[in-house]
Amino acid sequence: MYPGCKANNLAQELANPEVEFTESPPFDLMRVPGVGTFLGWQHSRTFLQVPLLLVSILMILHGLFGPSLAPKNLATTLTWLHFRGVLALTILCAGNFFCLSCPFMLVRNAARKFFRPRWNWPQRLRNKWVSVALFVLVLFLYELFDLWSSPLWTAWLILAYFGTVLIIDGLFKHATFCKFVCPLGQFNFVASTVSPLEVAVRDQEVCTNCHTKDCIRGRRHEGPSELVILQRGCELALFQPRKVGNMDCTFCLDCVHACPHDNVGILSRMPASELMAVEDHRSGIGHFSRRKDMAALMLVFAFGALLNAFGMVSPVYVVEKWLAHVLHVTVEAPVLGTIFAFFLLVEPIVLLGVAAWMTQKLGGSQQKLVPLAVRYS
């Protein structure tokens, strides 16, 4: 057959209204032999968490009692060199699998066998502002104390992380630390918006006909004296049928284990597709376009990367010396604070403000500047 014949046949099919085109189902990691069996195993998360917990303990001990030279200490080399590279590659190639194997949650779950949380996280704090502040604080401490070259301070930072997890999730119910506090988790959430995989339902019709909603409520059993939870549902308040994308999803797979219809998988999707529909309402998050706290998190993620890169080049020392002279100070903290204020406040406000203003003037938008800046973020 000549090439032109194929083109003509295709044109005829497109012109025929009776011809139906079926979209091929997305790739499902849970359907891959071996991998899906492992991820569907009830103890797969614990299996992944235990090695990372042992590595974390080794890093803490080596940071506290090992050599003080950073290149020879596991606390600094694993944390600031190898972990960051592996984390970025994993998120970009697959998704938020680090949160799936997070060792902090293993310690938290063990502690909850003895201490049951009693309170709900305050309503006014159910946003990203606390985690944004902690994100900035970690970046600031990283530069102020040169954490990449200090095994001791790196070890104390890891210990502080474990302690904060135990305190927050020991007092407050659900996955409070993951959703509202953890700065590392927020980094993972933002980066995973461009991942090719997401935890999602396979068939929306199955969820429509489901009456138990176990994916978010969990599977429960009425015991003789109390309600027994056989399998918890999503602790991050993401209702699977209305969930969109990877934001706030830790890949814990609790919804996978809880679903009685085997209707939740790890499906392929267009990377960054969730950022294209900022007006869509999504479970547990709402509208991206109305979340100033989410916009602030995105900006810290983007401009914090530029700030971190600037801190690695020699011109930063010239700027710091000049600022110390202008401010009449001999300590680094106020100088570094001024640089942070410029990169994370002044620069984003100016750039986003100009972009929003140009959108109003040249694009004819009727929206105010702040909503436009939030959408752009």
Could you write out the DSSP letters of every residue in 219-278? EEEE-SSSEEEEE---TT---GGG--SSTT-----HHHHH-TT--EEEEE--TTGGGS-T
* DSSP label of 343: I
13: pLDDT confidence band, cut at 50, 70 and 90? low
Report how far residue 375's alpha carbon sits from residue 134's, in angstroms, rounded to the nearest whole number.
Answer: 23
pLDDT tens string 74-124? 999 999 999 988 999 999 999 999 999 999 999 999 999 888 899 999 999
1: pLDDT confidence band, cut at 50, 70 and 90? very low
Contacts for 288 with CB less than 8 Å, ≥ 6 apart: 275, 278, 279, 280, 282, 294, 375
The helix or strand, by DSSP H or E, that contains position 123, with its residue range, turns out to be none
Closest CA to 108 of 67, 164, 166: 166
- Per-residue model confidence (pLDDT) at position 220: 77
Closest CA to 157 of 175, 176, 138, 130: 138
pLDDT tens string 244-299? 999 999 999 999 999 999 999 999 999 998 888 778 889 999 988 889 999 999 99
Structure-token match 């049928």, residue found:
241
Report how far residue 293's alpha carbon sits from residue 304's, in angstroms, rounded to the nearest whole number.
Answer: 16
Residue 39 vs residues 48, 115, 243, 264: alpha-carbon distances, Å: 10, 28, 20, 12
For residue 105, report the phi and psi dihedrals to the nearest 5 degrees: -70, -30
Helix 44-65 and helix 151-171, axial crossing angle in degrees, nearest 10: 140
The answer to pTM > 0.95 is no
Report how far residue 95's alpha carbon sits from residue 250's, in angstroms, rounded to the nearest whole number.
Answer: 9
Give strand ranges (E) for the chain: 197-201, 219-222, 227-231, 264-268, 281-282, 286-287
Residue 93 vs residues 78, 196, 253, 294, 328: alpha-carbon distances, Å: 21, 7, 18, 23, 48
Query: Which stretches of 253-346 are DSSP H helices?
Result: 254-258, 292-310, 315-327, 332-341
Tokens describing residue 80: 């600031």
The mean-pLDDT minimum among 19-23, 46-50, 69-73, 271-275 falls in: 19-23
In a 3-state reduction of DSSP, which class is residue 209?
A: coil
Report how far residue 117's alpha carbon sits from residue 98's, in angstroms, rounded to the nearest whole number.
Answer: 25
